[in-house]
Amino acid sequence: MSITMVNLLTNPDRFFADLSGKDPDLRTPAAIVLLAAIATGIHIAAVSGVTTPSPSGVTAPFTGISVATGIIGGLIIMSVSWFLFAGVFYAISTMLRGVGSFRRVLEFTGYGFIPAIIAPVIGLAAVWLAYPGIDFSTIEPQLMKQTLMQNPLMKASDIAGIIFLLWSSVIWIFGVKHACNVSRRTATVTVVLPVAVYLLYSMITIIGS
């Protein structure tokens, strides 16, 4: 990892301040989102693989179809999330008298997806560890995914996902601060509002699963 990327994780305020002096460039954030999409896709494939029995009745963590479907799903989820979060940040900051281009907000928001690369890896490890301890042959097909998601390891990975989202939020706060030329307080409000809504939805989903 380059010194610049280390600065993003250890001192995002300085990182975005330095980057603000350069022209917007979406290549690096797009690569970050792509890596997050691939990691998310593999995680989706693992969950799908162990909860979808083959014609022979056997489940497996990975199949060609589940991997392809998972990666496509990951690309859709991450791409939509990137543009959605950037769009909401831009809209809120504009209402709070922020000044900046959507392209710059999109760029800086993309950098905040670095934790989203790590979270699915933890989820994948949880699937890998939980899978051998569940006898799927005795479970009705329609209950397989629910049974897996109720495993304590899967619950723990869900909580880890929330922690990584909070990490992303910290990065986004400094990104919005410099992309929209607002105070840290205004940037915090801009980021916390939509993230809080998403976190509430996530926690309801975890409790209900």
Least confident of 2-11, 34-43, 53-62: 53-62
- Of 147, 144, 141, 121, nearest to 209 (Cα)? 147
> Could you tell me if residue 63 is inside a domain?
yes
Whole-number Å distance between alpha carbons of 33 and 27? 10
Q: Please report the pLDDT score of residue 150 as a whole number.
A: 82
> Could you tell me if residue 16 is inside a domain?
no
Q: Please report the pLDDT score of residue 200 as a whole number.
A: 87
> Could you tell me if residue 51 is inside a domain?
yes
* Cβ atoms of residues 54 and 60 within 8 Å: yes
pTM of the model: 0.86
Residues 6+ apart with CB under 8 A from 121: 39, 43
- Containing domain of residue 135, as a range? 23-208
Condensed to tens digits (0 to 9), the pLDDT of residues 47-83 reads: 877 776 655 555 555 556 667 788 888 899 999 999 9
Condensed to tens digits (0 to 9), the pLDDT of residues 106-150 reads: 999 999 999 999 999 999 899 888 877 777 666 776 677 777 888
- Structural domain count of the chain: 1
Q: What is the DSSP string of 32-71?
A: HHHHHHHHHHHHHHHHHHHHS--TTS---S--HHHHHHHH
> Could you tell me if residue 180 is inside a domain?
yes
> Could you tell me if residue 149 is inside a domain?
yes
> Could you tell me if residue 96 is inside a domain?
yes
Amino acid, res. 128: W
* Cβ atoms of residues 186 and 93 within 8 Å: yes
- Of 130, 123, 208, nearest to 160 (Cα)? 123
Q: What is the CA radius of gyration of the chain?
A: 19
Q: Please report the pLDDT score of residue 77 as a whole number.
A: 92
Whole-number Å distance between alpha carbons of 56 and 137? 11
> Could you tell me if residue 88 is inside a domain?
yes
What is the residue-averaged pLDDT of the chain?
Answer: 86
> Could you tell me if residue 1 is inside a domain?
no
CA-based end-to-end distance of the chain: 37
Q: Which two tokens stand for residue 6?
A: 């280390």
